[in-house]
């Protein structure tokens, strides 16, 4: 920590010229604790939403990969049939 930043932090912690630690009142501490608790709850909700979104995206990715594999197989079958037709046409042309 930089000495200036450290001095600011120490100044925040100590009060007055006699450097007595500043005590937080129970109300202030309770308010800060409640605020932290709310922030933690929001973060946990956000993590839950992101986890669900991630799960959904992974599922979609698996489905799309499966669909792609099927389409590639169908494309290969069509290509093979077209090549076979071309070969038959060439054979008919040569024999005709």
In a domain, 43, yes or no: yes
Determine what percent of the chain falls in helix, strand and coil, rounding each to the nearest 5: 85, 5, 10
In a domain, 89, yes or no: yes
| Domain range for 38 | 24-95
pLDDT average per 10 residues of sequence, the chain (96 residues): 48 51 79 96 98 98 98 98 97 88
**pTM (2 decimals)?**
0.56
Give the DSSP per-residue string, 45-76: HHHHHHHHHHHHHHHHHHHHHHHHHHHHHHHH
Give dist(CA 50, CA 42) in Å, integer. 12
In a domain, 60, yes or no: yes
In a domain, 18, yes or no: no
């Amino acid at each position: 920590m930089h000495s200036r930043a450290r001095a600011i932090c120490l100044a925040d912690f100590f009060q007055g010229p006699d450097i007595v630690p500043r005590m937080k009142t129970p109300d202030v501490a309770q308010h800060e604790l409640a605020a932290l608790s709310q922030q933690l709850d929001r973060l946990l909700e956000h993590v839950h939403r992101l986890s669900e979104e991630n799960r959904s995206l992974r599922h979609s990715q698996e489905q799309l990969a499966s669909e792609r594999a099927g389409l590639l197989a169908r494309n290969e079958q069509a290509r093979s049939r077209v090549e076979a037709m071309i070969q038959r046409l060439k054979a008919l042309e040569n024999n005709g």
